[in-house]
């Protein structure tokens, strides 16, 4: 079957127009006008991801983070970053990027996070188009910041989480939670406006953390890599569509870790 048929099914679920303005989404490498037998879902395109795709004879990768995230000045094979792109092209591996569209869509990544953390009665954190937007705000059973942080750590199998809190606030009780996948600290004022006690998001900047505390908002930073949930959930979707539509192809989940961080 054609790659375009698979992507059409994906776009029926996650329309590209949901991507925020200026985002890098959609087909980025290769063509969808080709036959595909194996599709792989990944969070990132790194040299390890490409080696895995080549080894498994993958024809199309559906990925959350765009491999080309800033303008290219050349395609020189001696450059290790450029070699990633050249290896994809040489091996005729197409890459389709689903970035903020999967964050915004109802039943997408932010809603999956809420399900796992039992955040109920949710609304959009930061509206990007009428009725849709980035992040969610909802309620949890009343618990301390520390209890929620440990739940985040356990749920996503992390070796650590960072807390945005003064020491005495770790036992502060909370029941209204804002969450935004990726790097969402720029939306902390939205979280405050919607009555959140705590914001869960990755890559919280030092000075932003200070501003959050001054204005009465706590934070839990589990890192950007928890978006790896994308792999599991999109693989499940593709397998469902494969059964429903009788697709003759293989769906694979990337198994290499692209998380650049470890904690001692």
Q: Answer yes or no: is 227 a known binding residue.
A: yes
Name which CATH class applies to 106-221.
alpha beta
Q: What is the per-residue pLDDT for 162?
A: 96
Cα(91)–Cα(78) distance, rounded to whole angstroms? 18
Q: What is the per-residue pLDDT for 142?
A: 97
Q: What is the per-residue pLDDT for 186?
A: 97
Q: What is the pTM of this model?
A: 0.96
- Domain 3-99+227-252 matches domain 106-221 at the CATH topology level: yes
CATH 3.40.1390.30 fits 3-99+227-252, yes or no: yes
- The domain ranges of the chain are 3-99+227-252, 106-221
The enclosing H or E element of 96 equals strand 94-97
Structural tokens at position 134: 């980035």
Q: Answer yes or no: is 23 a known binding residue.
A: no
Please calculate the CA angle 6-9-15 and round it to the nearest 5 degrees: 120
Q: Answer yes or no: is 263 a known binding residue.
A: no
pLDDT by residue for the chain (264 residues), tens digit each? 999 999 999 999 999 999 999 999 999 999 999 999 999 999 999 999 999 999 999 999 999 999 998 888 888 988 999 999 999 999 999 999 999 999 999 999 999 999 999 999 999 999 999 999 999 999 999 999 999 999 999 999 999 999 999 977 878 999 999 999 999 999 999 999 999 999 999 999 999 999 999 999 999 999 999 999 999 999 999 999 999 999 999 999 999 999 999 998
Cα(131)–Cα(204) distance, rounded to whole angstroms? 26
Alpha helices by DSSP H, the chain: 3-13, 47-55, 80-90, 100-104, 109-117, 145-155, 188-193, 206-214, 229-245
Q: Answer yes or no: is 65 a known binding residue.
A: yes
Cα(203)–Cα(206) distance, rounded to whole angstroms? 9
């Amino acid at each position: 079957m054609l790659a375009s048929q698979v992507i059409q099914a994906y776009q029926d679920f996650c329309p590209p127009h949901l991507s925020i303005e200026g985002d890098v989404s959609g087909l980025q490498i290769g063509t969808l006008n080709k036959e595909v037998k194996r599709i792989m879902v990944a969070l990132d395109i790194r040299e390890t991801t490409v080696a895995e795709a080549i080894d498994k004879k993958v024809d199309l990768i559906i990925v959350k983070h765009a491999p080309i995230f800033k303008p290219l000045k050349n395609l020189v094979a001696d450059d290790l970053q450029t070699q990633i792109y050249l290896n994809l092209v040489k091996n005729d591996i197409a890459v389709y990027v689903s970035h903020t569209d999967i964050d915004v869509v109802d039943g997408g990544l932010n809603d999956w996070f809420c399900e796992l953390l039992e955040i109920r009665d949710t609304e959009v954190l930061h509206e990007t188009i009428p009725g849709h937007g980035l992040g969610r705000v909802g309620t949890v059973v009343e618990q301390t910041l520390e209890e929620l942080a440990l739940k985040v750590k356990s749920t996503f199998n992390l070796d650590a989480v960072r807390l945005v809190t003064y020491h005495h606030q770790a036992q502060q009780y909370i029941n209204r939670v804002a969450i935004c996948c990726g790097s969402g600290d720029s939306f902390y004022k939205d979280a405050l406006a919607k009555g959140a006690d705590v914001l869960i998001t990755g890559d919280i900047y030092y000075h932003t953390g200070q501003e959050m505390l001054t204005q009465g908002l706590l934070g839990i930073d589990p890192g950007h890599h928890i978006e790896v949930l994308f792999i599991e959930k999109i693989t499940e979707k593709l397998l469902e569509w494969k059964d429903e539509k009788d697709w003759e192809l293989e769906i694979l989940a990337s198994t290499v870790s692209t998380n650049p961080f470890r904690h001692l």
